[in-house]
Amino acid sequence: MNLYNLGDILSKLSKALQDQELKNVQMPFSLKFDRFFSKPIYRKSLDIITILFFTLVIIGPIINIFSTIFLNIPSIYHDVFNDELIGDLQWLNILNSLGVSFSIATIAVIVDIVIAFPIAIILTRYDFRGKKILDALVDLPMAVPTSALGFSVLLFWGIFGISPGMILIILGHIVFTFPYIVRNLKIVLEKAAILYEDAARTLGASGITVFRTITLPMMKEGLIAGAILSFTRSLGETGATLILSGLVETAPILIVGFRRQLELPSASLLAGILIAISITLLFSIKFFSRRGSFSVKRVWPNLERTLSRKTLRHLRDILAIIILIIVILIPSFYIISRINEGNLFEELFLGQDYKWVYLYMSLMSSIQIGALAVIINLGFGIPFAFIITKREWGKIITILDTILDIPLAIPSAALGFAIFLFWGPAGIGLFQPGFFMILFVHVTFTFPYMVRPIIGVLESSDVGIEEAARTLGASNMTVFRKITAPSIKQGIIAGCIMVFTRSLGETGATIVVMGNIRTIPVLIVDWVEANNIASAIFASTVVIIFSAFLIFALRAVTNRRTKMIAKN
């Protein structure tokens, strides 16, 4: 069509358009429904219900722990500091366990950062065949429930004669914290835009100088946040540690021990301390990561130029990959190679206690709980994500945003115990240890895993198209149904998969509240402790394969989303 004939066509058409026409106004039911529920009152009620849920589920138990401690100071004092038999031995135990946990966490995080940095750089800055495979491999340990992971680590290093104890715990924590640190570094390195590094290079800076003066300072905040979160995760790890610890007691192990022996005051105190520490660390991320800077003034151009030469870089990369394989990947999956060991068939199927029944039942329990956790968290998580991204409540939103991360930071055993206290026989009494309390615990822990990805897609989604839809006459509900929901679909799916995976692997809190039910990770711990090695191996393998499948599904979903964004 000739550009210049447009004028003619337009004038002819405009005449036709000006004819008055009958428009039958008959709104379809779905739109009427939307308009009705878009009224402010419904939105406000939904907000209130969501916040209520959030409070009960997360804040309630925490407050309860601290109030329990304060209300029971006499008995705590008696049990912990002034027992007739052992004096303040309990307190010394507690302090000792905290010290152990802290040192393990510190060492694990530092070692992980050192290994993860080159790997993260390889994954974000280089392009080569097989990059996707390396990326997937690095993610995999995250898929595996920690008790299975712990067991695999135990078996592997056992070959070299390393028996349960401090060193083995550290080796285990290095493995399971690694994927979190790599993921965090990848995100941060990608954000620390390549653009600035390019600018620095054109100004004459070589590799290491660019890294020191540009990349590191720009990723400082993200790096610190990631390190602290990984630190708290290591602090709270229970499942694998139970298997690897031998006689060493970390803080979460001590809580589990107290709970098993019904020494509730001691458990309360330790849980309270752990929760307090974790919350402090969490809040410190927000306030302190702005201060402090790397020195960007001093430069040693010649030295750094030499160090940046290609050969040294390649050397570093190869070394990192070798360590990755030996220290992290092989121990994680070693267990699969041992599956045919021992009398698996006999033990599992022919033994007197019908182990395979237990296996089946605990698998079912895990899946049921996981599925229910997903559904409940979907129902409350989506509105909550909307509250955080869309409501203009000022400081309240910042508070909610920070508190949201608490389940990530708190040792699961501690929070599990808090929930037990709050909802169980010693507290409100609404729930007994068992299925529902386990479900409760899982909902609490997985809530951030649902909300965060949804917040992520909401924030990066185009507010513009929602406004455009509103200007075209769509009410809030219609906008959500037809415009927002399709575009955040991927975020929701990612959230569901992450919730399910995390629920599958949850050990510490589950042990505290489980009563007679066993989920798969706990079953593995039980069997290892009871020396039913072959069964434990089998169970671990089943769980590893199942989780690996979930992680691949997660990656497929999020990759598709990145492609769609790139296209648009």
CB of 299 to another protein, least distance (A): 5
Tell me: does residue 202 bind another protein (CB under 8 A). yes
Tell me: does residue 319 bind another protein (CB under 8 A). no
User: How far apart, in whole angstroms, are the C-alpha atoms of residue 538 and residue 155?
Assistant: 13
Tell me: does residue 40 bind another protein (CB under 8 A). no
Tell me: does residue 205 bind another protein (CB under 8 A). yes
Member of 214, 492, 497, 551 binding another protein (CB under 8 A) = 214
Contacts 24+ apart (CB under 8 A), 493-496: 493/557, 494/453, 494/554, 494/557, 494/558, 494/561, 495/377, 495/378, 495/381, 495/449, 495/450, 495/451, 495/452, 495/453, 495/454, 496/374, 496/378, 496/450
Member of 460, 467, 545, 562 binding another protein (CB under 8 A) = 467
Tell me: does residue 470 bind another protein (CB under 8 A). yes
CA atoms within 13 A on the CB side of 31: 7
Member of 72, 96, 106, 206 binding another protein (CB under 8 A) = 206
Pick the piece of the chain touching another protein (CB under 8 A) from 147-155, 197-205, 363-371, 522-530. Answer: 197-205
Angle at 550 between CA 548 and CA 556, to 5 degrees: 105
Pick the piece of the chain touching another protein (CB under 8 A) from 40-48, 473-481, 544-552, 554-562. Answer: 473-481
Identify the helix (H) or strand (E) that includes residue 321.
helix 310-323
CB of 489 to another protein, least distance (A): 9
Pick the piece of the chain touching another protein (CB under 8 A) from 43-51, 202-210, 264-272, 440-448. Answer: 202-210
User: How far apart, in whole angstroms, are the C-alpha atoms of residue 475 and residue 399?
Assistant: 29
Member of 36, 42, 70, 196 binding another protein (CB under 8 A) = 196
Per-residue CA distances from 268 to 54, 61, 79, 412, 550 (Å): 22, 12, 11, 14, 35
CB of 466 to another protein, least distance (A): 9
User: How far apart, in whole angstroms, are the C-alpha atoms of residue 521 and residue 506?
Assistant: 7
Tell me: does residue 481 bind another protein (CB under 8 A). no
Among residue numbers 287 through 306, which ones bind another protein (CB under 8 A)? 293, 296-297, 299, 301-302
Nearest residue (CB) to another protein, 130 versus 204 = 204
Secondary structure class of 205 (helix, strand, coil): coil
Bridge partners, 83 (sequence order): 87
CA atoms within 13 A on the CB side of 513: 31
DSSP 8-state assignment for residue 351: S
Secondary structure class of 75 (helix, strand, coil): helix
DSSP 8-state assignment for residue 165: S
Tell me: does residue 204 bind another protein (CB under 8 A). yes
Cβ(506)–Cβ(148) below 8 Å: no
Tell me: does residue 17 bind another protein (CB under 8 A). yes
Member of 40, 473, 531, 566 binding another protein (CB under 8 A) = 473
Tell me: does residue 28 bind another protein (CB under 8 A). yes
Q: How many residues bind another protein (CB under 8 A)?
A: 65
Pick the piece of the chain touching another protein (CB under 8 A) from 25-33, 98-106, 135-143, 267-275. Answer: 25-33
Secondary structure class of 203 (helix, strand, coil): coil
Pick the piece of the chain touching another protein (CB under 8 A) from 84-92, 135-143, 382-390, 475-483. Answer: 475-483
Tokens encoding 91 = 């307190």
Tell me: does residue 396 bind another protein (CB under 8 A). no
> Which residues of the shown chain bind another protein in the complex (CB under 8 A)?
1-11, 13-14, 16-18, 21-28, 31, 195-196, 198-206, 209, 213-214, 217-218, 293, 296-297, 299, 301-302, 462, 464-465, 467-475, 478, 483, 486-487, 567-568
